Amino acid sequence: MSFSFPEIRTEKKYQKFLPLSQKRILQKLIQAVIREKVCEYEWKPNGFTGGTYILKAPLNRTIQFDVKKIYYLGHIDIDGPILLADNQTHSELTHPVQFLQVLFETDITSNSVQTLINELDNSVTNDAIALTAKEYRRVSETSTSETRAFDTLIKMKNKDPHFSPLTYLEQWATEGHTIHPCSKTRIGLSPEENQKYSPEWAAEVQLVLLAVHESHSTSSSMSDEEIKDLLLSDYPFLSKEMDELASYVLIPVHPWQYEHMIKKYYREELDKKLIIPLHSVIPVKPLLSFRSLAPSLGRKLHHIKTAVNIQMTSAKRLVSPASVNNGPVISKLLKEIEKTDPLLKERVVFLPEVAGCHFSSSRKFPGIDLEKNLSCIIRENPEAYLAKDELAVPAASLINTLPFSSGTLMKDLILGYRDKNMVSIEKSATEYLELYAKTVIPCLVQLVVQYGISLEAHLQNAIVVFKEGKPSKLMIRDNGGIRIHRGKFSQWVDSVKLDNSTNLLTDRPEDLYQMFSHAVLHNHFGEIILNLTKEFGINESILWTQVKDVLSKAISIISNQNNCTEQASEFETWVLGPHTYLKALLKMRLNHSVTDNIYVPAPNPLLPGKKGEIE
C-alpha cells in the first residue's frame, strides 16, 4: 500500500522527526570528520569509556562535545550538546549544515563545500520523510502475532504468491547508508516525488517501456537471450505491441526519469520514432537503492536496475555503458566459479546481471550523457532460488526494525534462537553471530585469495538465505563496485575486453583487501555488532572474537586446499594487521571522487588494543 499526502512538510509527524533527523545526520558527519581527520582535534579521556572531543575550527574557535562510549571501530555515543566555543561564549550546534559552516568558514565559498551543504540539508529532509513514512506504516501494519519475525514472514509468503518478503524487508529498511552523512540525499527529487517513488512509503512504480531502434541501442547478455526476450518472457502481455516493432529493443525506464529526462532530452529520437513509448507498463516496487526494482507480479520475475538522474549519497544513479557491458561478462565468470569451486558450491549465489541495454548515439547534449540516462540492467531475482521454507533477507534489514519484531530483525532472530535452544542471551548472540559469519565470510575470502576478486559485500549488496530462522547461504548482487586483480585473470580479462572506465581492474592486491575491509568488516559486520552491543549490552570483544575465529579458519582452509599459501598469508597479514581500512566518504565527496576510492586507516577490532583508536 502506498501513502500519499498533499504536503508532507506540513505534517505534524514530519515536524516531530525533523530535529531527530538533524541529530542523526549531524552525528554521522561528526564521526566522518573524526574518522577521516578532516580537521585537527584533541581527545581527552574521562574514565574507562568516555571523554571529550575538542575539534579545532577556523578563527580560533573550537567545537567540543562529550562522549559516553567509544566502540571498537570508532563509533561514538555523543552525550549532551555539541558546543561552539567562541571568545568565552558557547552556543549549541544542532544542524549538520551549521557544523559544516563553522568547520569550513574560511572556505565557505568553495563549490565543494557549498555542494556538500546542500546535500546535507537535503539528507536531513529526506531522513525525516523516511521516519515519517515508517511511523504511518507502523500504525497501519502493526501485527498482533506472537510469533517471531521469521515465522511471521514465512506465513505471509505462503499465504500470498505475490507477496515478496525480500521487497517487504527492503521497503522497511529506513536506516539507509550507515556511515555516510549524505545517507538520504536525493538531489533532484521533490518531497512529493519522494513519497510517490520511495521504498520507505511502500511505493509501487509503473515502469515506462521504451522501444528503442536497434540502430540506436547497444545490448549485452550472458546468453543468446537479449533483454527484450527476457522481458517478454516475464511479461507476455507486451508481445502484442512488440510484434509490430521487430527491429526495436526494450528498455524499461523509471517514470521519474521519463518525465524529467527522456521527454526533454530525447525529443529528436521520439519525434523520429527511433524511440517509441509503449502503452503497456510494468508494475514494480523500489528496493533499498531506489532505482533497483522488484516485480509486483511474482517472486521469480527479474529485478530491474534503472537509470535515474538523481544524486543519492555521492553520485547520480545512472547506468553507464561500461556497466551494461561488464555486468553480464562478470556474472558469467562468477557463475562458473560458483558452479565449479568445491568451497563455494551450494554455499553462495552470485546473482547474475543477465542482460542490459543502453541508448547509443553520437548526438551530444551539453551536460547530459544520453547513453547513461537511457539504460538498464536486469538481474535474477534472489527469491527464484528459494524453497518454500526459506527467506532471502537483505543484510541491511537486519539492523532495521519491523512492525512485528522485537527491536532490530537480527535481535528478533537471536531471541528466536534463544527460545529454541534455551541458552543465555550472550550465548545465543555469540553462537548466532558465528553461524552468520560462517555463512558470509569464507565465500568472500575464497574469492579474494583464490581468484583475486573482491566484491562490495556491504549490507546493501549482501542477501542471506535463512532457513528455520538460521542463516544458511550467501547471495551477492551488484557488480558495480567489484575489483578484479589483473594478474590473476590477465588472460581472461584480455579475451573479453572488459571496459575499465569504472576502475574495476587493478594491479594492486591492496585494493582488494581495502575493499574487503571497508565493505565486510566495517559496513557489514561492524554495523551488526554495533547494534547487538547496544541492544543486548554484550561486550564487543566477545562478538569480534567470533568473527576473527571464522576468518582465521577460512584462511587456513583455503591455504591448505588450494595451493594458495602465499596469497592466503598475504591476505592474513593485511586483514590481521594493525589497521583496517575505510572509505573516506567525506573526503571523496569534497574531492568529487566517485570511482577513485580514497581509504583511511581505522582501528582493527580483530586485534587486542585500544578500541576506537589508531596506535
User: 137: part of which helix (H) or strand (E)?
Assistant: helix 111-141
Give pLDDT, residue 107.
80
304/257 Cα distance (integer angstroms): 14
Comparing C-alpha atoms, which of 532, 524, 510, 521 is closest to residue 605? Answer: 521
Low-confidence ranges of the chain (pLDDT < 50): 1-3, 6, 614-615
What dihedral do alpha carbons 278, 280, 286, 292 form, nearest 10°? -40
What dihedral do alpha carbons 267, 272, 275, 277 form, nearest 10°? 80
- Please compute, for residue 531, the number of CA atoms within 13 A of its CA located in the half-sphere on the CB side: 22
Rounded to two decimals, the pTM is: 0.94
Give pLDDT, residue 12.
82
Give pLDDT, residue 492.
60
211/228 Cα distance (integer angstroms): 9
Instruction: Kindly provide the b/e burial profile for residues 510-533, where b requires at least 16 CB atoms within 10 angstroms of the residue's own CB.
Output: ebbbbbbbbbbbbbbbbbbbbbbb
The 10s digit of each residue's pLDDT in 247-302 is: 999 999 999 999 999 999 999 999 999 999 999 999 999 999 999 999 999 899 99
282/263 Cα distance (integer angstroms): 19
Return left, alpha or beta for 87; rule: phi > 0 is left, psi -120 to 50 is alpha, else beta.
Answer: left
CATH of 385-603, one of 3.40.50.1440, 3.90.550.10, 1.10.510.40, 1.10.3720.10: 1.10.510.40
Give pLDDT, residue 494.
60
DSSP-based three-state secondary structure for 265? helix
Give the C-alpha distances (Å, rounded to integers) separating 172 from 257, 312, 409: 24, 18, 11
Comparing C-alpha atoms, which of 533, 531, 568 is closest to residue 551? Answer: 568
150/45 Cα distance (integer angstroms): 42
Give pLDDT, residue 17.
93
Q: Are 65 and 81 spatial neighbours (Cβ–Cβ below 8 Å)?
A: yes
C-alpha cell at 298: 511474482
Give pLDDT, residue 491.
59
576/339 Cα distance (integer angstroms): 30
Comparing C-alpha atoms, which of 391, 464, 402 is closest to residue 433? Answer: 464
DSSP-based three-state secondary structure for 57? strand
The 10s digit of each residue's pLDDT in 588-597 is: 888 876 667 8
Structural domain boundaries in the chain: 204-340+353-383, 385-603
Helix axes 425-451, 527-536, angle to 10 degrees: 170
Mean pLDDT of all residues belonging to the chain: 91
Give pLDDT, residue 615.
43
Q: Are 149 and 409 spatial neighbours (Cβ–Cβ below 8 Å)?
A: yes
386/24 Cα distance (integer angstroms): 36
Q: What does the DSSP 8-state code read for residue 177?
A: S
Give pLDDT, residue 460.
94
- Please compute, for residue 91, the number of CA atoms within 13 A of its CA located in the half-sphere on the CB side: 8
Give the C-alpha distances (Å, rounded to integers) separating 243 from 18, 211, 229, 238, 251: 51, 11, 12, 9, 16
467/210 Cα distance (integer angstroms): 40
410/47 Cα distance (integer angstroms): 31
Length of the chain: 615
